[in-house]
């Protein structure tokens, strides 16, 4: 009593090895507190105002089931992780853009990735499944805490090398190109899709524009978003990296990509930055 969620979190973590799910309102202030909690080890969050509306009992069941699996795996402390190939043997590709899809566990994973990843000579576009207010706060925090410049995508926004551009929390991002100018469009379509923004939509659009000059990365998250779009990336000559089970908060999206034979290679999060760097810069 009398303590906020961010104040109570370390006390709960000290008291027991629990998977903690935060409840948050969709305000900028709450977004900052929730993101801090996720960075400090909270498993996930639930938007209070969406309970009983877009956030259904089945979604709560999925959260709790995934949280249980996460903490069970963590308690075992077992990791059979081995890189799918030595990073030094990865091929150097003529990559001109990177797209990333991530969901549950994403804020912490993205912080680790961008802290380890050098500023890339190509633009990076990220789909993180989060409400709009949270995405803006996440982009701001990554810019403050890493060496990467960030933005939230807008209609007709030019994608520039060295910048990490986040899809807004309520619209899909599409790649577009005119001459040498690479830019993005925003769309509400398709509407009959589970996630908005969608990694599948981003990956497919980027693959159609970039072809073999595209690198896709699928990180931790529930569901299978990114697996189908990743197939398009592969069919157009691009490459897909997936996060290994050993470092995922939820081994859903990467697992779907691997089982669908969408991913070229699989790496633990601790090796992902080095793998991306090797492929992009040689």
Active site residues: 103, 129, 225
CB atoms closer than 10 angstroms to residue 36:
17
CA of 275: how far to CAs of 43, 102, 164, 175, 194, in Å? 26, 17, 18, 24, 30
Alpha-carbon distance of 116 to 110, in angstroms, equals: 10
Alpha-carbon distance of 152 to 135, in angstroms, equals: 8
Where do we find the tokens 């990220």? 126
Alpha-carbon distance of 6 to 37, in angstroms, equals: 6
Assess contact for 125 and 153: CB atoms under 8 A: yes
């Amino acid at each position: 009593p009398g303590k906020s969620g961010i104040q109570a979190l370390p006390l709960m973590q000290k008291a027991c090895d629990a998977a903690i799910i935060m409840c948050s309102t969709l305000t900028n202030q709450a977004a900052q507190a929730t993101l801090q909690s996720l960075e400090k080890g909270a498993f996930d969050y639930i938007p209070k105002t969406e309970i009983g509306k877009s956030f259904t009992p089945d979604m709560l069941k999925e959260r709790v089931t995934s949280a249980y699996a996460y903490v069970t795996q963590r308690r075992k402390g077992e990791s059979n992780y081995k890189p799918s190939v030595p990073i030094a043997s990865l091929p150097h590709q003529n990559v001109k853009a990177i797209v990333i899809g991530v969901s549950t566990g994403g804020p912490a994973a993205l912080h680790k990735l961008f802290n380890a990843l050098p500023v890339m000579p190509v633009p990076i576009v990220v789909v993180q499944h989060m409400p709009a207010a949270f995405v803006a706060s996440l982009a701001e925090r990554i810019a403050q805490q890493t060496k990467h410049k960030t933005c939230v995508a807008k209609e007709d926004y030019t994608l520039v090398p060295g910048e990490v551009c986040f899809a807004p929390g309520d619209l899909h991002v599409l790649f577009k190109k005119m001459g040498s100018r690479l830019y993005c469009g925003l769309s509400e379509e398709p509407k009959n899709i589970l996630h908005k923004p969608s990694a599948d939509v981003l990956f497919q659009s980027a693959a159609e524009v970039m072809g073999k000059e595209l690198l896709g990365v699928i990180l931790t998250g529930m569901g299978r978003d990114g697996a189908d779009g990743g197939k398009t990336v592969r069919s157009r000559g691009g490459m897909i990296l997936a996060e290994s089970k050993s470092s995922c908060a939820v081994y859903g999206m990467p697992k779907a990509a691997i089982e669908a034979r969408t991913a070229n290679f699989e790496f633990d999060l601790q090796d992902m930055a080095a793998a991306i760097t090797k492929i992009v810069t040689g």
